[in-house]
Amino acid sequence: MSGLSVFSPGRDCGFCPRLVAYREEYRSLHPDWFNAPVPSFGPVKARLLVVGQAPGVNGANRTGRPFTGDVAGRLLYPALAKFGFATGTFQERPDDGLELTDCRITNAVRCAPPQHKLETSDKNHCLPYLAAEIAAMPDLRILLAIGAKAHHSILQALKLKPGRYPFKHGATHALENGLALADSFHTSQYNVNTGRITQEMFEAIVAQIRRSLT
């Protein structure tokens, strides 16, 4: 981390009893899985921060790397690689050797929620970690929200009014603090299967971010 540090939750963070109970259930069911708050991935001195909603229980909760192990990363990582934010080949495993360049990935909520459904209390409890994550990135220029919930958590973490910046897929908001916030529909299996988001649509957003950082 080049001397920088981020205030991150410990493996047994207990602020969300509902999520802790779910985590404990999975620790019993699958003791070989990660089953803990999923740490952020990528350099702190990056200009781009990708923010997801929460780990999937069979994805990042299993593997310990954001957007890794289920369908959610299948659009994200190849698009990042295509536009120079990642090197290597994404193989849905944390040991696939993929590295991020000028990009970091985190989640608004670090623990997997049951049925992948977040409650307001989950987001509120985990907000200090997201705020710390953003504050610890000295070169940050753009945040990419993967889904409306991530968008709202980012605004909350930055103490900005959501009404001023409505979520819209493909939009980039110039925030009053000088950062930019780009929006994408979530890259979930449901959204991919229903055609709500495609590789082409997602790549268009990453391409726009690349252009704005050059």
Annotate 4-55 with DSSP letters as a single string.
-------TT--S-HHHHHHHHHHHHH-TTS--SPPPPBS-TT-SEEEEES--
Provide the b/e sequence for 125-154 (b: ≥16 CB within 10 Å).
bbeebbbebbebbeebbbbbbbbbbbbbbb
- Binding segment for ligand SF4 among 74-82, 107-115, 182-190, 192-200 (CB under 6 A)? 107-115
Regarding 109 and contact with ligand SF4 (CB under 6 A), the answer is: yes
Contact, 60 vs 68, CB < 8 A?
Answer: yes
Identified binder of ligand SF4 from the candidate list 50, 71, 126, 137, rule CB under 6 A: 126
Regarding 111 and contact with ligand SF4 (CB under 6 A), the answer is: yes
Q: Which of 49, 25, 62, 179 is nearest to 108 (CA)?
A: 49
Q: How is residue 71 written in tokens?
A: 């369908």
- Binding segment for ligand SF4 among 62-70, 119-127, 145-153, 168-176 (CB under 6 A)? 119-127
- Binding segment for ligand SF4 among 14-22, 62-70, 94-102, 198-206 (CB under 6 A)? 14-22
Q: For ligand SF4, give the closer residue by CB, 98 or 154.
A: 154
Identified binder of ligand SF4 from the candidate list 37, 55, 56, 147, rule CB under 6 A: 37
Identified binder of ligand SF4 from the candidate list 9, 56, 59, 147, rule CB under 6 A: 9
Q: 3-state class of 137 per DSSP?
A: coil
Regarding 15 and contact with ligand SF4 (CB under 6 A), the answer is: yes
Which stretches of the chain bind ligand SF4, using CB under 6 A? 9, 13, 15-16, 19-20, 37, 109-111, 122, 125-126, 129
